[in-house]
Amino acid sequence: MTTTTLAAVLRTRGGSYRLEQVELADPGPGQVLVKIAACGICFTDIGVQRYEQGTPLPHVLGHEGAGTVAKVGAGVTNVAPGDRVVLSYASCGACANCAHDHPQYCASFMPLNYGGVLSDGSVPMRGHGEEEAIFGGFFGQSSFATHAIAYARNTVKVGSELPFALLAPFGCGLQTGAGTAYNTLDVKAHHAFAVMGAGSVGLAALLAAVDRGCRTIIAVDRVPERLEMARRLGATHTLLADGRDLVAALRGIEAGGLDRIVDTTGVSAVIRAGLEALASRGQLAMLAVTAPGTEITFNPNTLLGGRALKGAVEGDADPQAFIPWLIGRHLSGRFDHAPLITEYPFSAINEAVADMAAGRVVKPVLVMD
């Protein structure tokens, strides 16, 4: 049995998406078939669209899906048909990091999330009347489609309080930004905090810093509209990255330096400036998935004084615990990401990508029905 699905297929690196009918396999053991209602676009989708990162073509991307369970495969007990769910990243459940509450550092993270086939080795979709293999399983879902195959482990059951368009970005962008602030950096009220890059990941980190009551909250970006959004969400200061001396500008706001910085730009000069603007014992977490060939340089003496530079995946969060917790935060009025979202019909996927890449919208969410 297969399910006929409308999917946004990427056929050439750097090309546009084309909506095509594909045949999606039935869910196998441990797998879940989800009718996708909405899917956010994260910059990671745009990175994979533009650059070779181990994802074979033709491929269906999309990794912030939300919808309703249609069918479950053998052995799936955490969700049942009819349940409302958010899909997050895939992990194996068996390696040392999965066994010790860190599925985001799963030993099989790359093959499971970028490899194009399901964990049982099968190609999930067929095009052109079953003749052509279409790769998927992107982040254990491939949700730029009306249906997706996910796994029990990355299918998170949610309540009925929120519409799917508000739920979808919890699967990656919100979890990553917020989790980096809450978990990786454990921001506190006495911290001076800055976020470099005020896209959806950066602004989710900023919302968490606002929630924790950080005494100073600075947003840095080169798009003025994103800084206006940061102000609206609770930034105490904003800095336009227009070629000015960022270290001097940050030190001008916090002479003693910053305690916690989240970088979502992946730009060497920005990260270097952040490190130089850290207070002693300050920490900078970098999250960007950079283009091939990117290198970052800084004076190693900057790290003396107990400063730390670290990387993080998916906010150091286990989606089954963190996503319901963060939704609860939203419902109690302490994490309002609604202003970040702009809805697009699924058929406008290429326009949504272009608007996000140009900084015209922060978090486009495709609505499938």
Chain residues in the site for Zn ion (CB under 5 A): 42, 44, 91-92, 95, 98, 106, 172
CA angle 295, 109, 122 (to 5 degrees): 125
Determine which residue in the list 198, 207, 262, 271 makes contact with ligand NAD, applying CB under 6 A.
Answer: 198
Provide, rounded to whole angstroms, the least separation between the CB of residue 97 and ligand NAD: 14
290 Cβ contact list (under 8 Å, min separation 6): 266
- First-to-last alpha carbon distance for the chain, in angstroms, is 23
The mark string for 32-51 relative to ligand NAD (x by CB under 6 A, - otherwise) is ----------xxx--x----
Separation CA 144–CA 126 (nearest Å) = 15
3-state DSSP assignment of residue 262: strand
95 interacts with, out of Zn ion, ligand NAD, none, CB within 5 to 8 A per kind: Zn ion
Q: How many CB atoms lie within 10 A of CB 190?
A: 10
User: Would you count residue 359 as binding ligand NAD (CB under 6 A)?
Assistant: yes
The answer to whether 362 and 340 have CB atoms below 8 angstroms apart is: yes
The answer to whether 45 and 61 have CB atoms below 8 angstroms apart is: yes
Chain Cα centroid distance, residue 345: 20
3-state DSSP assignment of residue 155: strand
Q: Which stretch binds ligand NAD (CB under 6 A): 17-25, 132-140, 285-293, 326-334?
A: 285-293
Q: Which is nearer to ligand NAD, 76 or 258 (CB)?
A: 258
User: Would you count residue 124 as binding ligand NAD (CB under 6 A)?
Assistant: no
**In this structure, what token pair is assigned to residue 160?**
């009925």
Provide, rounded to whole angstroms, the least separation between the CB of residue 119 and Zn ion: 11
Determine which residue in the list 69, 201, 227, 341 makes contact with ligand NAD, applying CB under 6 A.
Answer: 201
Subset of residues 170 to 189 that bind ligand NAD, contact rule: CB under 6 A: 172-173, 176
Q: Which is nearer to Zn ion, 60 or 246 (CB)?
A: 60
User: Would you count residue 220 as binding ligand NAD (CB under 6 A)?
Assistant: yes
Separation CA 172–CA 44 (nearest Å) = 10
Determine which residue in the list 209, 270, 271, 340 makes contact with ligand NAD, applying CB under 6 A.
Answer: 270
Separation CA 106–CA 121 (nearest Å) = 18
Q: Which is nearer to ligand NAD, 71 or 153 (CB)?
A: 153
The answer to whether 49 and 14 have CB atoms below 8 angstroms apart is: yes
User: Would you count residue 241 as binding ligand NAD (CB under 6 A)?
Assistant: yes
Interacting residues toward ligand NAD by CB under 6 A: 42-44, 47, 172-173, 176, 196-202, 220-223, 226, 241, 264-267, 270, 287-289, 313-314, 359
